[in-house]
Amino acid sequence: MGKQVGFEDVLRYFDEDGDGKVSPSELKHGLGMMGGELPMKEAEMAIATLDSDGDGLLSLEDFIALMEFDLNGDGVLSFEEFRIMMQ
């Protein structure tokens, strides 16, 4: 349960409009706030790759799948880890 709560916190960081899901623009902006630069096209591609229900947004379940790429296990997907996931 602790790990899921951590994922929920990270999801809330990205979820600017509070709808419980992360859009491509929210993903782009959130990664930008972490010091990375993500073109909108790549943000859209990432969402499309991980979006399990086809709504164009990342749900908590999708976000947990994304966090499997947290290679150093710190509970945060770094920009570099995100880039590795996209390769």
* Segment 30-52, tens digit of pLDDT: 888 878 788 899 889 889 988 99
Q: Is 26 exposed, middle or buried (0-12, 13-18, 19+ CB in 10 A)?
A: buried
Who wins on pLDDT, 13 or 64?
13
User: What pLDDT, on a 0 to 100 scale, did the predictor assign at position 40?
Assistant: 94
Q: Of 20-24, 31-35, 79-83, which has the strongest mean pLDDT?
A: 20-24
The helix/strand/coil state of 58 is: strand
40-to-43, 55, 59 alpha-carbon distances in Å:
5, 17, 19
- The whole model's pTM is what? 0.74
| Structural domains of the chain, count | 1
CATH of residue 18's domain is 1.10.238.10
Q: Which structural domain, as residue segments, surrounds residue 50? A: 2-86
Q: Please, which pLDDT band fits residue 11 given cuts at 50, 70 and 90? A: confident
Question: What contacts 73, CB < 8 A, 6 or more positions away?
Answer: none
